[in-house]
């Protein structure tokens, strides 16, 4: 049932992992925290109550959040900007939360000294982002993987991987090095367009408060 059918309840979708923890810190600055009785269940619970009776937290896979927000099943979500761009769904993402800083990069095996973008296979879960970056080259083939991209060059499945990079230690551990930094990535708040119009004043207050909170991170 769409969230706007639940009266005053604001439902926020968070992904599991580091973004969820850091987004929780932002919400806490706004006076909204996950109840202690449910915090210990966070790894298993999908819907959690908060210290505010008007706010509920829903835990989803990061690549599902944009679509769920767009369809109105939750009012808002927190997800990486890379996922927003990859979805190509055009959901409003007005606030850069400035958390979970990383980058979307292309990497290859270190012994391949020269990178030739004319004819290659790219292992990634961000094909749309890579297509835009490489200019929609017909000679580029995409190998769809949801994880373990670093293994693709070692297995001979691809010459290049496109993935999120934080410190680069995972790439180095697999003998890979960055050859192109495609875009910086931070977590963003995404909103349902219909709810934003119907509750314009309330959503404007929410986004303004989020901007204020992130300014002090």
pLDDT tens for residues 28-81?
777 777 754 444 444 555 777 777 777 888 889 999 999 999 998 988 899 999
Sorted by where each starts, the structural domains of the chain and their CATH numbers stand as 3-100+186-214 (3.40.190.10), 102-185 (3.40.190.10)
Query: Residue 5's pLDDT is what?
Result: 40
3-class secondary-structure state, position 184: strand
Length of the chain: 217
Task: Indicate the pTM of the whole model.
Answer: 0.79
Q: Is the dihedral of CA 147, 150, 151, 152 positive or negative?
A: positive
């Amino acid at each position: 049932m769409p969230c706007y059918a639940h009266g005053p309840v604001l439902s926020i979708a968070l992904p599991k992992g580091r973004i969820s923890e850091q987004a929780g810190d932002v919400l806490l600055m706004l006076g909204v925290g996950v109840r202690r009785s449910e915090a210990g269940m966070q790894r298993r619970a999908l819907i959690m109550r908060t210290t505010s009776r008007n706010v509920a937290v829903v835990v989803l896979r990061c690549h599902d959040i944009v679509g769920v927000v767009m369809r109105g099943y939750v009012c808002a979500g927190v997800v990486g900007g890379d996922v927003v761009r990859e979805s190509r769904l055009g959901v409003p993402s007005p606030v850069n939360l400035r958390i979970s800083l990383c980058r979307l990069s292309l990497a290859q095996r270190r012994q391949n000294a020269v990178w030739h973008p004319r004819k290659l296979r790219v292992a990634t879960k961000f094909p749309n982002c890579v297509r835009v970056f490489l200019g929609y080259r017909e000679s580029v083939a995409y190998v769809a993987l949801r994880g373990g991209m670093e293994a693709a060059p070692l297995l001979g499945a691809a010459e290049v991987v496109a993935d999120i990079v934080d410190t680069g230690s995972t790439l180095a551990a697999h003998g890979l090095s960055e050859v192109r930094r495609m875009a910086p990535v931070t977590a963003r708040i995404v909103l349902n367009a219909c709810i934003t119009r119907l509750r314009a004043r309330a959503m404007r207050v929410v986004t303004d408060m989020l901007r204020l909170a992130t300014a002090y991170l």
